[in-house]
Amino acid sequence: MTDKELLYIEDALGHEQYFQSKCKETAEGLSDMELKRCVEQLESRHAQIFRQFYTLLLDDKNLMQDLLLLEKGACDLYMHGAVESSTQNVHLAFNSAFTDSLNMQNEIYSKMQTKGWYPAEQVEQQKIDKVKNQYSPMQG
């Protein structure tokens, strides 16, 4: 994809998103049911066009990055739900969902790392030693 094509796709996505919102707003304001159905169909057609352009941006890497971000968000939600729950069965439900979500996040991450899409660089030993020395108990 060229830079110029990406700019046009970005513009098209913005316009289609705007058309959808205007159609929804217009349909909600119409009292004539025939006109309302017509505008709702237009909204649906603009949603299809939006998806068509959006799909051009997606490849396996982007799809997996989106999925990983969603899973991280779920982990955050479930962790906070578990921390804030005072009722045992609610706490257990959030804790269980958190554990499952962490496992799924790790599975996605591992697949992405295997493909080279999420490289993890190892820290230099010098940096480890610096932190270790900074916090080592005093000898004496």
80 lies in the same domain as 47:
no
For residue 118, what are its two tokens?
Answer: 């999420």
* pLDDT digit string, tens, across residues 128-137: 999 999 998 8
> Which residue type is seen at 71?
E
* pLDDT digit string, tens, across residues 48-69: 999 999 988 888 998 899 899 9
* pLDDT digit string, tens, across residues 86-127: 999 999 999 999 999 999 999 999 999 999 998 888 999 999
Domain assignment present for 140 = no
Distance CA 50, CA 14 (A): 9
End-to-end C-alpha distance for the chain, whole angstroms: 65
44 lies in the same domain as 80:
no
Distance CA 65, CA 101 (A): 15
Distance CA 6, CA 13 (A): 10
- pTM surpassing 0.85? no
Q: Is 30 helix (H, G, I), strand (E, B) or coil?
A: coil
- Do 53 and 46 contact (CB within 8 A), yes or no? no
Q: Is 115 helix (H, G, I), strand (E, B) or coil?
A: coil
Domain assignment present for 129 = no
Structural domains counted in the chain: 2
Domain assignment present for 81 = yes
Its domain, for residue 87, covers 60-114
pLDDT for 20 beyond 70: yes
